């Protein structure tokens, strides 16, 4: 089913963010966040982005974390057409004194000498707010899961999330899904793969941002109580 057909024709009676029936003000949420697509990309390519209806209050509760998610990952996106466009757009807005507090926070996440150590080849350490980064990574998966399976995933279930930076080798289990279909409508900006066939009710998702950054999210289906599928990886 094409995204526009899904947006228009699927009868969805609950908000995928809270799992309750619709009431009050409703708006549409982009999955993934629209701001990952730079204005230049949207103007030149007019992408038909996936949206889902949500409660307005639910949607707005993620806004600050979505802003952080996009900007903290922004430096890692440099080197691709879409990543460079996004970086240039955000840099221009920062020069106009927009979101000054956010950019100061991001600049503070870079450490040229972590714990007094000198890193080779002029490298610097980049830290992240794992809670905020994980919250939006999981929000994207929840939206895509709802799109594909028409089922609600709670925000608080156990999941594991990791970042694979440009040039970094993905973990060994990533090879299990490398031949699965790519799902993104505009893979130059956002792409994803997933599988639920590795073990029991274990789901493994990989998101690709700007062709540069891989986010890996794995979780066990909430109704499954076997508790044997989730590997002891770092959780956010």
* Three-state helix/strand/coil letters over 127-196: CCCHHHHHHHHHHHHHHHHHHHHCCCCCCCCCEEEEEECCCCCCCHHHHHCCCCCCCCCECCCEEEEEEC
**CA dihedral for 189, 79, 206, 215, sign (positive or negative):** negative
Residue carrying the six token digits 């793969």: 193
Domain coordinates in residue numbering, the chain: 3-220
In sequence order, the 6+-apart residues with CB closer than 8 A to the CB of 92 are none
Closest CA to 34 of 16, 17, 49: 49
Residue carrying the six token digits 């990574």: 137
Strands 190-195 and 202-209 come out as antiparallel
pTM: 0.85
Structure tokens at 125: 């350490």
The pLDDT tens digits along the chain (236 residues) read 344 443 434 445 899 999 999 988 999 999 999 999 999 999 999 889 999 999 999 999 999 999 999 999 999 999 999 999 999 998 888 878 777 788 888 888 877 766 655 556 666 677 899 999 999 999 999 999 999 989 999 998 889 999 999 989 999 989 888 888 899 999 999 999 998 665 557 899 999 999 999 999 999 877 665 555 444 333 33
């Amino acid at each position: 089913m094409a995204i526009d057909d899904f947006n228009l024709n699927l009868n969805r009676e609950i908000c995928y963010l809270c799992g309750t029936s619709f009431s009050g003000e409703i708006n549409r949420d982009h999955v993934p966040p629209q701001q990952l697509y730079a204005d230049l990309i949207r103007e030149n390519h007019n992408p038909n982005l996936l949206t889902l209806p949500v409660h307005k209050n639910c949607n707005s509760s993620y806004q600050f974390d979505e802003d952080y998610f996009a900007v903290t990952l922004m430096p890692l996106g440099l080197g691709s057409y879409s990543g460079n466009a996004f970086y240039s757009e955000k840099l221009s807005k920062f020069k106009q004194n927009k979101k000054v507090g956010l950019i100061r926070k991001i600049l503070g996440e870079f450490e040229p000498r972590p714990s007094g150590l000198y890193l080779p080849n002029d490298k610097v350490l980049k830290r992240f707010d794992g809670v905020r980064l994980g919250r939006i990574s999981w929000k994207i998966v929840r939206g895509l899961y709802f799109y594909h399976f028409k089922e609600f995933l709670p925000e608080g279930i156990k999941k594991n999330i990791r970042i694979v930076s440009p040039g970094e080798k993905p973990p060994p289990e990533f090879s299990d899904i490398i031949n699965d279909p790519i799902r993104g409508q505009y893979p130059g900006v956002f792409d994803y793969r997933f599988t639920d066939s590795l073990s029991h009710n274990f789901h493994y998702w990989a998101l690709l941002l700007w062709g540069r950054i891989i986010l890996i999210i794995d979780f066990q289906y909430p109704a499954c109580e076997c508790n044997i599928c989730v590997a002891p990886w770092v959780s956010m």
